[in-house]
Amino acid sequence: MTYRQPLAAAIRPTILDDFVGQDHLRDRLQALFQAKRMPSLLLFGPPGCGKSTLALLLATSRDQAYLRLSAPEVGLANLRKKLENVEILVLDELHRFSKAQQDFFLPILESGEITLLATTTENPSFSVTKQLLSRMHVLRLRPLGRRELAVLAKRGAQSLGVDIPDASLEILAGLSNGDARTLFNLLELTAELPPEKWPADKLRQALPEVVMRGDRDGDSHYELASALIKSIRGSDPDAALYYLACLLEGGEDPRFICRRLILSASEDVGLADPQALSLTVSCQQAVEFVGMPEGFIPLAETVVYLALAPKSNATYAAYLVAQKEIRTHGAHPVPMHLRNASTALQKEWGYGRGYKYPHAYPDGWVEQDYLPPEVQLRFYEPKLQGQEPRLNAWLAKFRKKRKPG
């Protein structure tokens, strides 16, 4: 089988003059190319804006041994071996290394043993340690504009040897949302269509299928995340694992997945299994500590646990009812007996007067109103799943004692 190089790699520029976009950095880039010593750099920007291309241009402009790696596919033990006799390391997706893993680079950057040219799509203020940031210069790249994408589309069509009309290339540029990689994917898919579908009016009719297959960084990001959470909510561990794998293999940031799982533990599992929230927070800490690619192990455990756990959204629903009450009627004054009398004057005004201290009564409970008198609603309605009945049994016996109304 003949191997065909992806279009993005096939037309990657070899000199800065052929690089498209990032005009706001041109002067700084020229200075870097001419500098006697290359500083370590962190190129930060959205997908497909040219971060890796610029890093490679800078690396190949020097008469030094360089190596290109991607953080998700290499562990630190393997990295140490690969760095022998390497002077420049081009490292994609630095944010995929945990904070502990990032510390590996501190001594070798400090000593000047290597120059690190790293890329990230994540805000380095949050995804990169302060110690590592202090040893690097940050270049912030912007999404590519429509005109820049149109230039790349023409260059790509020429490389593929296809005569796609300019109007159709403009359509593809518009669909790419500033991402050259998405543009090249769409262009390759369009080139595989019969030539009679290349004109703009025909291409528009064919685009729904093309976009669905080619858009890896657009709506599918949210669709897969939604499918993962809904599979957990529906107690389907197989589907949940499948969508987890789709996200991770597609390059999704595991911290985004952890955030979604923490929310699912509170919203969908809730008090039916209160340990679910603790497990998801532990998962986030574990993924941050071990990094990727091994981080899939605690993620898989957590996803299956959440899918198998009993479900209750009672606390989530209760808050929404309370929120609606506040937004509709505003917040009523706190009853006087619940206010803390921190000054003599507040005591005179009646703050805290009549408050009954529950621990001074049998079973640690006493009949007492806590809501403002204007609020006559019950927000939390327990469900009968999992641990929730046990958690509510203690309160239920006291609620029966409450006076009616």
* Helix/strand/coil (H/E/C) assignment for every residue in 182-245: HHHHHHHHHHCCCHHHCCHHHHHHHHHHHHHHHCCCCHHHHHHHHHHHHHHHCCCHHHHHHHHH
Q: Give residue limits of the domains in the chain.
A: 22-140, 146-214, 219-308, 319-399
Q: What is the predicted pLDDT for the residue at 250?
A: 72
DSSP string, 32-97: HHH-SSPPPEEEE--TTSSHHHHHHHHHHTSSS-EEEEEGGG--HHHHHHHTTT-SEEEEE-GGGS
pTM of this structure: 0.52
- What is the model's pLDDT at position 208? 55
Assign 341 to helix, strand or coil. coil
Superfamily of domain 22-140: P-loop containing nucleotide triphosphate hydrolases (3.40.50.300)
Provide CATH code, domain 319-399.
1.10.3710
- Report the CATH number of the 219-308 domain: 1.20.272.10
Mean pLDDT by groups of 10 residues along the chain of 405 residues: 69 88 90 89 90 93 89 79 87 87 88 90 86 91 89 90 88 84 88 85 68 46 85 92 86 88 94 93 93 90 94 90 87 87 87 89 83 85 81 74 51
pLDDT at 401: 59
Q: Which three-class secondary structure state does DSSP give residue 137?
A: strand
Q: What integer pLDDT is reported at residue 404 of this predicted model?
A: 47
Confidence (pLDDT) at 185: 86
pLDDT at 257: 93
Name the amino acid, one letter, at 352. Answer: G
**pLDDT score of 217:** 45
Residue/partner pairs of 237-245 with CB below 8 Å, 24 or more apart: 237/303, 237/304, 237/307, 237/308, 240/303, 240/304, 240/306, 240/307, 241/300, 241/303, 241/304, 244/296, 244/299, 244/300, 244/303, 245/296
What pLDDT, on a 0 to 100 scale, did the predictor assign at position 213?
Answer: 42
Q: Assign domain 146-214 to a CATH class.
A: mainly alpha
Among 293, 262, 284, 220, smallest CA distance to 47 is for 220
Task: State residue 232's pLDDT score.
Answer: 94
